[in-house]
């Protein structure tokens, strides 16, 4: 309001987007500056001599002017008058509406879902901060050559997994939620919420995620040696894992579970520890993956009960399979079964001892009580193993698969037992005849090509 008309003229010429200027109220003695940008709104054309509005000075191209010199301030003929009662309220209304629209747009960007992007709302409602970057769908599509079959690494309960290469040359693994998956948005959210809080050398690192309409992608660090099951259950690949590598893998898994149970920001119960969820990096170090079924505990919580029992048959503890009760001791049981498979090269599920018609746990118990534990060792690593380590490891494993959860050690004790030479407790006879002699639950499972089995159990 302090500028003169000449200063207003100079101000308008300094900005190429300024289309016109005027003194808003001639009664103020020629002071005050009102500028127009883009379209000339809120003005009205009046015949010469009518009204009391001030002059408006409109910026025009040279081609629009007459060949004769035209005075800068006025042109003969009609005069454009400013209708102040229209301009000032109009400016205020437009400013108010613009502010409201900007606020609404900003709020919508933070709260409205895109497609099934309601995951972002869930983060807010759970007061969880999403600490992973969001990748654009085009970036991931380019990295995977539009999800080319040639880049497919495998497929599990969540969906297919693809190898990708980012523009800077970094390799990534991309899990793409399948439309036919029994898992879905809940598992997607659960995986991001759990693993985004975790950092450990024996856990697969989540680099970020992508939400694009119905597309939901999880982006991980790339593991060149894929999953553990591709080695221990293969006649050809098993020879690549000598005893030292297997023992190091077992200890790496144990350290990862100690972190989940004791040292992480959240106490995590994985609920699906198995060979296909253990990935191997270029140095054959074990990394726990797939947290879609994991549950987190807070405070002093150590166990919980669920009506929906999910996981993989053959790895689930008795109290979880039968009663839906899970705790850190449920992971200990799964770890014990996994150790059996790593040592023997045999799958727990489907194994039947031809002599006693027992499953793998029963077979191991019989060998252990008869002093024949060395017969369990996989032939591909029998020559490289150390008998005292094998016997000690089987003892620890049998402690992990005890029928009662209270009889199982915690994972910190397991790590200490693996790293020391002290005397071990003697295990009790485990529960290994549940499958064949007393079916107490109704199991139904669905298999996925190249991947894992997701099992839901409905206790009677």
Of the two residues 353 and 177, the one the predictor is more confident about is: 177
Residue 110 has pLDDT above 50, yes or no: no
Q: Which range has the worst mean pLDDT, 5-14, 240-249, 349-358?
A: 349-358
| % of the chain surpassing 90 pLDDT | 36
Band the pLDDT of 44: cuts 50, 70, 90. low
Phi, psi of 36 (to 5 degrees): -115, 140
What average pLDDT does this structure show over 394-419? 94
What average pLDDT does this structure show over 361-384? 92
Residue 49 has pLDDT above 60, yes or no: no
What pLDDT was estimated at residue 66?
55
Q: Which range has the worst mean pLDDT, 34-38, 158-162, 254-258?
A: 34-38
Residue 106 has pLDDT above 50, yes or no: yes
Q: Which range has the worst mean pLDDT, 30-34, 36-40, 404-408?
A: 36-40
**Which two structure tokens, joined as six digits, stand for 63?**
């081609």
Catalytic residue among 229, 272, 290, 378: 272
Q: Which residue has the tokens 């200027």?
A: 21
What average pLDDT does this structure show over 123-151? 76
Model's pTM, two decimal places?
0.66
Is there a contact between 380 and 345 (Cβ–Cβ < 8 Å)? Answer: yes
Length of the chain counted residue by residue: 460
38 catalytic? Reply is no
Do 351 and 425 belong to one domain? yes
The CATH number assigned to the domain holding 159 equals 3.30.200.20
Do 271 and 364 belong to one domain? yes
Do 79 and 140 belong to one domain? no
What pLDDT was estimated at residue 389?
92
**Rounded alpha-carbon distances, angstroms, from residue 170 to 195, 244, 251:** 20, 30, 28
What pLDDT was estimated at residue 306?
61
What pLDDT was estimated at residue 298?
56
What's the CA gap between 455 and 443, in Å, rounded?
Answer: 7
Band the pLDDT of 122: cuts 50, 70, 90. very low
Of the two residues 181 and 122, the one the predictor is more confident about is: 181
Cβ within 8 Å of residue 82, ≥6 positions away: 22, 24, 34, 43, 53, 54, 55, 56
In degrees, rounded to 5, the angle at the alpha carbon of residue 404 between the alpha carbons of residues 401 and 409 is 60
Of the two residues 352 and 247, the one the predictor is more confident about is: 247
What's the CA gap between 69 and 166, in Å, rounded?
Answer: 63
What pLDDT was estimated at residue 243?
95
Tell me whether residue 111 is in a domain. Answer: no
Tell me whether residue 26 is in a domain. Answer: yes
**Which two structure tokens, joined as six digits, stand for 240?**
């690549």
Tell me whether residue 168 is in a domain. Answer: yes
Band the pLDDT of 76: cuts 50, 70, 90. very low
Tell me whether residue 361 is in a domain. Answer: yes
Residue 176 β-bridge partners:
217
SS3 288: strand
Strands (E), 89-233: 152-155, 160-165, 171-176, 206-212, 215-221
What pLDDT was estimated at residue 225?
93
Do 171 and 150 belong to one domain? yes
Tell me whether residue 323 is in a domain. Answer: yes
Tell me whether residue 137 is in a domain. Answer: yes
Burial 189-221 (b: 16+ CB within 10 A, else e): bbbbbbbbbbebebbbbbbbbbbbeebbbbbbb
Residue 421 has pLDDT above 80, yes or no: yes
Q: Which range has the worst mean pLDDT, 149-153, 170-174, 449-453?
A: 449-453
* pLDDT tens string 144-163: 999 999 999 988 767 889 99
Is there a contact between 447 and 155 (Cβ–Cβ < 8 Å)? Answer: no
Work out how many domains the chain is built from and give that number. Answer: 3
Of 177, 202, 221, the residue that ends a domain is: 221
What pLDDT was estimated at residue 163?
95
| % of the chain surpassing 70 pLDDT | 68
Of the two residues 79 and 250, the one the predictor is more confident about is: 250
What pLDDT was estimated at residue 453?
41
Q: Which range has the worst mean pLDDT, 190-204, 251-265, 382-396?
A: 190-204
Tell me whether residue 387 is in a domain. Answer: yes
What pLDDT was estimated at residue 286?
96
* pLDDT tens string 271-324: 889 999 999 999 999 999 988 787 776 555 555 566 566 778 888 888 888 888
**Which two structure tokens, joined as six digits, stand for 442?**
């109704």
Do 247 and 290 belong to one domain? yes
Do 403 and 259 belong to one domain? yes
Residue 121 has pLDDT above 80, yes or no: no
The secondary structure of residue 189, as a DSSP letter, is H
Q: Tell me the average pLDDT of the chain.
A: 77
Q: Which range has the worst mean pLDDT, 72-76, 239-243, 352-356, 361-365?
A: 72-76
Band the pLDDT of 48: cuts 50, 70, 90. low
Tell me whether residue 269 is in a domain. Answer: yes
What pLDDT was estimated at residue 192?
78
Do 206 and 267 belong to one domain? no
Residue 435 has pLDDT above 70, yes or no: no
Do 187 and 71 belong to one domain? no
**Residue 136 is part of which domain span?**
119-221
Q: Which range has the worst mean pLDDT, 55-64, 118-127, 196-205, 380-389?
A: 118-127
């Amino acid at each position: 309001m302090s500028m003169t008309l000449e200063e207003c003229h100079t101000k308008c010429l300094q900005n190429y987007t300024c289309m016109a200027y005027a003194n808003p109220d001639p009664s103020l003695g020629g002071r005050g500056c009102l500028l127009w940008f883009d379209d000339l709104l809120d003005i009205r054309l009046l015949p010469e001599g009518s009204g009391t509005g001030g002059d408006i000075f409109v910026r025009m191209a040279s081609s629009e002017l007459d060949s004769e010199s035209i005075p800068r301030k006025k042109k003969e003929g009609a005069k454009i008058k400013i209708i102040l009662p229209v301009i000032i309220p109009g400016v205020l209304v437009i400013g108010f509406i613009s502010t409201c629209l900007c606020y609404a747009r900003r709020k919508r960007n933070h709260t409205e879902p895109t497609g099934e992007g309601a995951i972002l709302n869930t983060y807010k409602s759970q007061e969880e901060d999403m600490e992973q970057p969001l990748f654009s769908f085009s970036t991931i599509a380019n990295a995977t050559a539009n999800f080319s079959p040639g880049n497919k690494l495998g497929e599990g309960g969540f969906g297919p997994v693809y190898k990708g290469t980012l523009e800077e040359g970094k390799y990534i693994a991309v899990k793409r939620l399948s439309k036919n998956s029994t898992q879905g948005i809940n598992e997607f959210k659960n995986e991001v919420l759990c693993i985004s809080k975790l950092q450990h050398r024996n856990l697969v690192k989540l680099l970020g995620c992508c939400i694009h309409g119905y597309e939901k992608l999880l982006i991980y660090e790339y593991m060149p040696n894929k999953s553990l099951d591709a080695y221990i259950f293969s006649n050809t690949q098993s020879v690549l894992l000598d005893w030292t590598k297997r023992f190091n893998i077992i200890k790496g898994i144990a350290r990862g579970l100690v972190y989940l149970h004791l040292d992480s920001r959240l106490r995590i119960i994985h609920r699906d520890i198995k060979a296909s969820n253990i990935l191997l990096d270029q140095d054959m170090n074990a990394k726990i993956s797939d947290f879609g079924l994991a549950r987190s505990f807070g405070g002093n919580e150590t166990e919980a009960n669920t009506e929906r029992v999910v996981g993989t048959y053959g790895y689930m503890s008795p109290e979880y399979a039968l009663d839906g009760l899970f705790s850190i001791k449920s992971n200990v049981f799964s770890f014990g079964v996994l150790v059996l498979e790593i040592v023997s090269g045999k799958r727990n599920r489907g194994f039947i001892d031809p002599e006693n018609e027992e499953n793998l746990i029963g077979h191991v118990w019989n060998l252990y009580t008869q002093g024949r534990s060395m017969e369990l060792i996989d032939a591909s690593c029998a020559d490289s193993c150390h008998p005292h380590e094998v016997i000690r490891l089987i003892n620890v494993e049998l402690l992990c698969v005890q029928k009662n959860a209270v009889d199982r050690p915690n994972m910190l004790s397991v790590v200490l037992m693996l790293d020391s030479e002290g005397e071990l407790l003697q295990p009790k006879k485990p529960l290994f005849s549940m499958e064949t002699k007393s079916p107490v639950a109704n199991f139904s499972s669905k298999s996925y090509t190249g991947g894992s089995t997701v099992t839901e159990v409905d206790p009677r």
